[in-house]
Amino acid sequence: MTTRTVYLKDVPFDEAWRSFRSALEGINRWEAGESETVPLDEALGRVTAEPIWAKISSPHYHAAAMDGFALRAADTFEASDRSPSQLSKEQIEPVDTGDALPDWADAIVPIEAVEIVGDRESILLRAAIHPWSNVRAMGEDMVATEMILPAGHQLRPVDLGAAAGSGHDQLVVRRKPRVAVIPTGSELVPPGTIPKPGQIIEYNSLVLAAQLEKWGAAPTRLPVVRDSLEEIRAAVSKAAGEFDLILLNAGSSAGSEDHSAAVVESLGELLVHGVAIRPGHPVILGMVNHEVPIIGVPGYPASAALTGEIFVQPLIRRWLGLPESDKRQIEAVLTRKVHSSLGDDEYLRVSVGMVGDRTVAAPLSRGAGVITSLVRADGIVEIPAGIQGYAAGTHVQVRLYRSPEEIERTILAIGSHDLTLDLIAQELAIRGTRLSSASVGSLGGLVALARGEAHVAGSHLLDPQTGEYNLSYIRKHLPETKVMVVGLVRRWQGLILGAGNPKGIESLKDLAREDVIFVNRQRGAGTRVLLDYQLAKQKLDSEAIHGYGREEFTHLAVAAAIATGRADCGLGIQAAAAALKLDFLPLFSERYDLVIPEEHYQSRLLEPMLEVLASDQFAGEVDKLSGYELERPGEVLAELG
């Protein structure tokens, strides 16, 4: 076991990158590039290593562009409707499209434009033919010796045609860089395994290899290596003899089982250990045997994938002779305040949509471990070092992962999450519209609507005074906005219980039992409002409930507390119980509505969603969920404002 070390230092990104690039200078395969010859039918997507020059012209002869007759244009100059010209057998020659123009001829008349006299002996023309009519002149398409495509061009389907047409049957392209991806860690288990606590499903190598493949490299995923300095050293040393680049995953930090830095140091040069970026700062850059670059990729999945984008992609593009990647940027309004570390460049993942005429960017989870933050991300906002963050409402530049057209076809839903939103998302996807949803609780959703940050909010807020859903809350939080309350479903709320209900809990009354520990939801959550309403209605004292003061922020957190034995029960929806294979006691049926400002309700963007809500297909899907029934889906239940 090595002793713990600290980072050499977190160097700024530009400095790290500069030192890595200068280490690559003088290494032939990284400097000049290597090429190989591939047949045309394997060249799609490859990058030309040299310009493609036409070897032959296309057409390579004067060619008939129509079925008809070759002739001398001069023989037709007198022809008119009133006095047609008759051309004899000797003056014409029948040709099909693509035939060579006879030497003596200079035009083609199409078959449709002539009358054939006698037994094809001669033809009659009623209009003059211009010289070179219906002839594809030699070189019309490509001229021998002309440059068809430059070097450094990624080959598309039509390019292959142009290469073939100008005389090639193979092309010289950049060799794909061979990249080894080495996962390390004694805690890793393969995908498909049911992991024990402390075990981690190894999928970073899957993501890195897929990125490499997409960017034009040839990745190889090597077997997982245990957390042993010697074994990792052996694996890296072997890979250095076979690959052009090594990605060593995890162990790049400074923990007791982090060996990457020591391995790189012992086999070559440790250039950088720690880069001032978030997520992903424990990055290692180095050279093995002074010729094979190695990148120590952090272990958290979002960090690993972003390290791929930030460090690996430019390296692959450099190898292939391509200019730096396109940065499609658009301006958007940040929906929430974001603090950022002064010392680091931060890569903030955001979802993006057009609400009215504003493009808004909503920050997603910043956790380095949250791979779904990248799955859900529509783009990245870079917050450079030296900036402590941005206020809500700041105009920021977003580097997009999706096309602006996809962004324009995105419905932003916010508020309380419900399973049926997933079903709607699925039906919308088929119709070419995206539903991007964020869970901030019912009240949070109304506040977001008021701020113009979303099109739709899911809400199940019960008014304890009136027993009515949502209306009084909307009046309070969206006083100035014309809003539609649109029906969706009723769903069962109930008690989530340990599997098999070991404490024999039968109703809300049991919450006050001495031997029962409860776990609560936060104030403002629709479920908390419901609990307090029902307690009051049944005249139960919340102070008698053990654990009433312990608040969790999601249905699942409540279920997790029960699954791990920290509590015996909590109020929530059936899906959360099902997720962790817990028991569920249904108690109250509640309404879950969609709140939609009229401006969006009327918009073309939302049309397909309203279609979905009214469809038999959607009704059928909801029917399959247990604990749900439709509640006038898509109907306007109330209009406010």
**Sites for its own copies among residues 83-142 (CB under 8 A):** 96-100, 103, 111, 136-142
Q: How near is the Cβ of 101 to its own copies at its closest, in Å?
A: 9
Contacts of 550 (CB under 8 A, 6+ apart): 518, 519, 520, 561, 567
Whole-number Cα distances in Å, 238 to 98, 225, 232, 241 = 58, 13, 10, 6
Contact 145, 53 (CB under 8 A): yes
**Nearest approach, Cβ of 111 to its own copies (angstroms)?**
8
Query: Which residue from 113, 128, 218, 370 is in contact with its own copies, where contact means CB under 8 A?
Result: 370
Nearer to its own copies, 212 or 595 (CB): 212
> Which residues contact residue 167 at a Cβ distance below 8 angstroms, ignoring those fewer than 6 apart?
54, 55, 56, 144
- The reply to whether 244 sits near its own copies by the rule CB under 8 A is no
Give, rounded to a whole angstrom, the gap between the first and last alpha carbons of the chain: 68
Binders of its own copies among residues 168 to 187 (CB under 8 A) are 168-170, 187
CB 55 to its own copies: min, Å = 9
DSSP code, position 542: G
DSSP 8-state class, residue 298:
-
- Which stretch, 19-27, 271-279, 424-432, 537-545, contacts its own copies (CB under 8 A)? 424-432
User: 271 or 277, CB closer to its own copies?
Assistant: 277
Residues of span 518-557 touching its own copies by CB under 8 A: 554, 556-557
User: In this chain, which of 118, 198, 467, 500 binds its own copies, going by CB under 8 A?
Assistant: 198
Which has the closest alpha carbon to 377: 343, 402, 411? Answer: 402
Using CB under 8 A, which of 31, 115, 190, 356 touches its own copies? 190
User: Cβ closer to its own copies: 301 or 445?
Assistant: 301
Residue span binding its own copies (CB under 8 A) among the ranges 152-160, 355-363, 443-451, 587-595: 152-160
Mark residues 560-599: x for contact with its own copies by CB under 8 A, - for none.
x--xxxx--------xx-xxx-------------------
Tokens at 365, concatenated = 């989870």
Q: What is the 3-state secondary structure (H, E, C) of 422-459?
A: HHHHHHHHHCCCEEEEEECHHHHHHHHHHCCCCCEEEE
Chain-centroid distance, C-alpha 457: 24
Instruction: Write down the least CB distance from residue 32 to its own copies, Å.
Output: 13
> In the bound complex, what is the minimum distance in angstroms from residue 453's beta carbon to its own copies?
23
Closer residue to its own copies (CB): 147 or 614: 147
Binding to its own copies (CB under 8 A) within 444-503 occurs at none
Minimum distance between the CB of residue 19 and its own copies, rounded to whole angstroms?
Answer: 23
Q: Is-contact 448 335, C-beta < 8 A?
A: yes
Among 207, 262, 587, 638, binds its own copies (CB under 8 A): 207
Nearer to its own copies, 136 or 176 (CB): 136
Six token digits for residue 250: 């995890």
Burial class (CB in 10 A: 0-12, 13-18, 19+), 357: exposed
Under the binding rule (CB under 8 A), the answer on residue 160 touching its own copies is yes
DSSP string, 137-191: -TTSSB-TT-EEE-TT-BPPHHHHHHHHHTT-SEEEEEPPPEEEEEEB-TTEE-T
Give CA–CA dist 55/624, Å, rounded. Answer: 64
Nearer to its own copies, 221 or 460 (CB): 221
Q: Which of 256, 289, 507, 602 binds its own copies (CB under 8 A)?
A: 256
Say if CB 460 and CB 533 are below 8 A apart: no
The reply on whether position 245 binds its own copies by CB under 8 A is no
- The CB-of-131 to its own copies minimum distance in angstroms stands at 9
Give, as one character, the DSSP assignment of residue 100.
Answer: B
Site map 34..73 versus its own copies, x via CB under 8 A: ------xx--xx-----x----xxxxxxx--x-x------
Binding residues among 600-639 for its own copies as defined by CB under 8 A: none
Which of the residues 384 through 403 are near its own copies (CB under 8 A)? 403
Gyration radius of the chain's alpha carbons: 34
Contacts of 326 (CB under 8 A, 6+ apart): none
Among 1, 32, 194, 391, binds its own copies (CB under 8 A): 194
Rule CB under 8 A: choose which of 177, 274, 296, 301 binds its own copies: 301
CB 428 within 8 A of CB 441: no
Please count the residues of this chain forming the interface with its own copies, following the rule CB under 8 A.
Answer: 121
Cα separation, 123 vs 85, whole angstroms: 8
CA distance 60 to 71: 20
Among 146, 242, 265, 541, binds its own copies (CB under 8 A): 146
- By beta-carbon proximity to its own copies, the closer residue of 256 and 289 is 256
> Whose Cβ is closer to its own copies: residue 365's or residue 472's?
365
CA distances from 523 to 140, 417, 461, 528, 572 (A): 75, 16, 12, 6, 14
Kindly state the smallest distance separating residue 624's Cβ from its own copies, in Å.
13
Which residue in 15, 36, 422, 541 binds its own copies (CB under 8 A)?
422
Give the integer Cα–Cα distance in Å for 124 and 127. Answer: 9
User: What are the phi and psi torsion angles at 137 (to 5°)?
Assistant: -65, 145
Site string for its own copies, 325-354 (x = CB under 8 A): -xxx--------------------------
